[in-house]
């Protein structure tokens, strides 16, 4: 007979096993459900994103680059011209027709077949990604392509505006140019929103304000298969581009053209500056280049050719070259002497045409000498012997100190890339570099702006600006304002920024101004500054180069000499290099510029009015 108690235990054990199996099965299903929920719901967006990345491709829509205007905001100096780029998608071209299609497109676009073969080598034949073969294609050729599209499988086009730089060409160093981003540039700028194929500024304002000008690119999205073939006719999404801002410069187009023509085909530079604000009204550097060449086919070859030009047309000589300031440095020496010596103005020295110091003899530019001169006479006649004595009385340390107070030996911070700092030598530098002690002869050379010291034309303009402003230099600048590209509304107004304030007494600067006026009325510039349109004050400079009959020619001036409104004043600096035939052209060019600005005349009218004795040296007036 079966034990009821044993039967009951067996039933309980069987139920426990069934319960355990049910729990295990339910748990498994629960875990599986949780896993599916996590996979499909929680992580679903992650996998969707990955799938999207695999199948979706973005196409960049270029943003309209901002235009650049002169200070009058009436006509753009740089604008965008409607243009197109033609692409080849290698995978869409049947191999049997490849050569025939290449021949057709080369004939239409007027390009060499070797260019296509270089850009689309055989290893790319399987790709379904477009490759640009030419930009700057006219609408007429694109219209022909559209009408005969069946004859050009694998050929497509897209809108790609090009930059148009208007005259004058002397603006090339200011405006710069744009070009495709290089691999090296992309490595540096990738995190700033730049991508392959980006057009960016390479030099000048285009580079300095690239982020402001370029705007923000838009995007289109399409679906592709594993071979990069488009699966849908329409784009699956789009983000509109944001156009770049328009920039208004401080440059005055009329003054720029006037300065360009006054300098003529002479290697050198011109700067016209408003000392009360630091605004640059004109900046010319010759030789210049045509910024438009970089949007043409074969621009690399043109760039290489210009780069090898011994005249260095890519150098902006106004800010990227420095020269011995020669007698123009005597403006700094005069300021230092008046500030340091209570009786400086009445201090006299006798010039016999030479000056003996130790066992050396230093000559004056005038071999017969100037006789007895006071400070004003010494500056007016640019007497070297006078300033030899001034230099020895001041000493090298004070000359260095005043040079730096005028901003020499450091960059001004103008909003253009590539500015040089010039150089102010010191005894410590000479001993370290040349392993020689500083001698009295070095101080004598420094006193007349010769020897090791170098100054850029922009720094020379700041020297005059500090004298005009009686101790203040405003940071030179080219940006006047930023405007909305659609409404034209002013978004940013650039205000004057003080670069340096000197502790030199205002009374000292007033005396220096009087001395500079004497240079024009009875000094070295008297015979050449003939304009009656305005009274000016300035200083000439003739820098030795070590080459016989080759000299750098300087002229730095401001006008009007007297005014109740500082805003009316301008500084003009002309620098003509020794590479040119000696014509003493710097003050002659400045004379024309002053006449043109203050008589409101163009170059031709200014020359006609002046009818200068040196008219034969002016192109078009021989």
Element (H, E) at 363: strand 360-363
What is the pLDDT, as a whole number, of residue 580? 87
- Give, to the nearest 10 degrees, the angle between helix 603-610 and helix 253-263: 50
Nearest to 579 by CA among 315, 283, 281: 315
34 has pLDDT over 80: no
Q: Of 441, 442, 440, 437, whose CA–CA distance to 424 is shortest?
A: 442
**Nearest C-alpha neighbor of 156 from the set 204, 85, 107:** 85
Mean pLDDT of 565-589: 94
For residues 67 and 486, what is the distance between their CA atoms, to the nearest angstrom? 11
pLDDT at 227 exceeding the cut of 80: no
CB atoms within 10 A of CB 225: 10
| Distance of alpha carbon 445 from alpha carbon 460, whole angstroms | 18
pLDDT digits (tens, 9 = 90+) for 422-463: 999 999 999 999 999 999 999 999 999 999 999 999 999 999
Task: Look at 97-106, 291-300, 327-336 and tell me which has the smallest mean pLDDT.
Answer: 291-300
Residues whose CB is less than 8 angstroms from the CB of residue 183 and which lie 6 or more positions away in sequence, other chains included? none
Higher per-residue confidence, 119 vs 479: 479
Helix (H) or strand (E) holding 57: strand 56-61
| Percent of the chain clearing pLDDT 70 (strictly above) | 91
d(CA 397, CA 79): 51
Between CA 222 and CA 231 the distance in angstroms is: 8
Q: What is the pLDDT of residues 271-287, one digit of tens each?
A: 999 999 999 999 999 99
Rounded to 10 degrees, the C-alpha dihedral 119/121/123/128 comes to 50
Report the interhelical angle of 440-447 vs 384-394 (nearest 10°).
130
First-to-final CA distance of the chain: 145
- Given this model, what pLDDT does residue 369 score? 96
Alpha-carbon gap, residue 385 to 382, rounded angstroms? 9
Residue 222 has what pLDDT? 67
Long-range contacts of 560-568 (CB under 8 A, 24+ apart): 560/534, 560/535, 560/536, 560/598, 561/513, 561/517, 561/534, 561/535, 561/536, 561/537, 562/535, 566/275, 566/276, 566/468, 566/469, 567/274, 567/276, 567/277
pLDDT in tens, 542-573: 998 877 778 999 999 999 999 999 999 999 99
**What pLDDT shows up at residue 239?**
79
In DSSP notation, 493-544 reads EPPP-EEEE--S-HHHHHHHHHHHHHHHHHSTTTTT---SS---EEEEEEEE
**Contact 346/373 with Cβ under 8 angstroms?**
no
**Residue 199 in contact with residue 189, Cβ under 8 Å?**
no
Report the SS3 class of residue 84. strand
């Amino acid at each position: 007979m079966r034990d009821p108690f044993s039967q009951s235990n067996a039933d309980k054990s069987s139920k426990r096993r069934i319960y355990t199996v049910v729990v295990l099965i339910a748990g498994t299903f629960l875990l599986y459900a949780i896993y599916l929920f996590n996979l499909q719901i929680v992580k679903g967006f992650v996998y969707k994103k990955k799938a999207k990345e695999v199948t979706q491709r973005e196409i960049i829509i270029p943003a309209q680059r901002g235009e650049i205007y002169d200070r009058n905001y009436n006509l753009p100096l740089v604008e965008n011209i409607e243009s197109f780029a033609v692409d080849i998608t290698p995978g869409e071209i049947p191999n049997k027709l490849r050569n025939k299609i290449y021949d057709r497109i080369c004939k239409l676009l007027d390009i060499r077949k070797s260019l296509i073969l270089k850009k689309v080598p055989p290893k790319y034949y399987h790709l379904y990604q477009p490759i640009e073969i030419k930009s700057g294609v006219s609408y007429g050729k694109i219209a022909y392509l559209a009408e005969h599209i069946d004859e050009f499988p694998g050929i497509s086009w897209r809108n790609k505006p090009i930059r148009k730089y208007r005259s004058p060409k002397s603006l090339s160093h200011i405006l710069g140019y744009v070009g495709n981003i290089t691999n090296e540039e992309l490595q540096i700028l990738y995190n700033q929103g730049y991508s392959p194929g980006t057009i960016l500024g390479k030099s000048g304002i285009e580079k300095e304000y690239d982020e402001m000008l370029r705007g923000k690119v838009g995007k289109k999205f399409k679906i592709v298969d594993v071979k990069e073939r488009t699966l849908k006719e329409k784009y699956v999404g789009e983000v509109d581009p944001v156009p770049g801002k328009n920039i208004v410069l401080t440059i005055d187009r009329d003054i720029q053209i006037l300065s360009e023509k006054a300098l003529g085909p002479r290697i050198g530079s011109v700067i016209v500056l408003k000392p009360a604000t630091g605004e640059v009204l004109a900046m010319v550097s010759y030789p210049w280049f045509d910024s438009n060449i970089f949007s043409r086919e074969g621009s690399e070859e043109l760039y290489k050719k210009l780069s090898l030009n011994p005249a260095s047309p890519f150098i902006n000589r106004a800010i990227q070259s420095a020269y011995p300031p020669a007698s123009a440095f005597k403006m700094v020496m005069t300021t230092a002497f008046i500030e340091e010596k209570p009786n400086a103005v009445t201090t006299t020295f006798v010039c016999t045409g030479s000056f003996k110091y130790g066992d050396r003899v230093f000559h004056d530019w005038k071999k017969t000498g100037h006789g007895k001169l006071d400070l004003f006479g010494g500056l007016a006649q640019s007497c070297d012997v006078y300033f030899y004595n001034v230099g020895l009385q001041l000493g090298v340390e004070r000359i260095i100190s005043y040079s730096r107070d005028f901003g020499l030996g450091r960059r001004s911070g103008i909003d253009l890339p590539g500015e040089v700092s010039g150089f102010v030598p010191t005894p410590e530098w000479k001993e370290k570099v040349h392993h020689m002690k500083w001698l009295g002869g070095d101080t004598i050379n420094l006193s007349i702006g010769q020897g090791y010291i170098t100054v850029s034309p922009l720094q020379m303009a700041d020297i005059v600006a500090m004298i005009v402003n009686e101790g203040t230099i405003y940071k030179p600048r080219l940006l006047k304002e930023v405007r909305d590209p659609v409404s034209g509304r002013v978004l940013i107004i650039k205000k004057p920024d003080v670069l340096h304030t000197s502790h030199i007494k205002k009374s000292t600067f007033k005396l220096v101004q009087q001395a500079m006026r004497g240079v024009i009325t009875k000094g070295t510039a008297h015979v050449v500054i003939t304009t009656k349109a305005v009274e000016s004050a300035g200083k000439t400079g003739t820098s030795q180069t070590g080459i016989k009959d080759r000299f750098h020619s300087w002229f730095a001036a401001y006008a009007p000499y007297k005014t109740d409104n500082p805003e009316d004043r301008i500084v003009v600096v002309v620098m003509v290099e020794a590479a040119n035939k000696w014509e003493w052209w710097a003050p002659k060019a400045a004379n024309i510029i002053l006449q043109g600005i203050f008589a409101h005349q163009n170059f031709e009218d200014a020359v006609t009015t002046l009818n200068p004795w040196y008219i034969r040296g002016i192109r078009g007036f021989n």
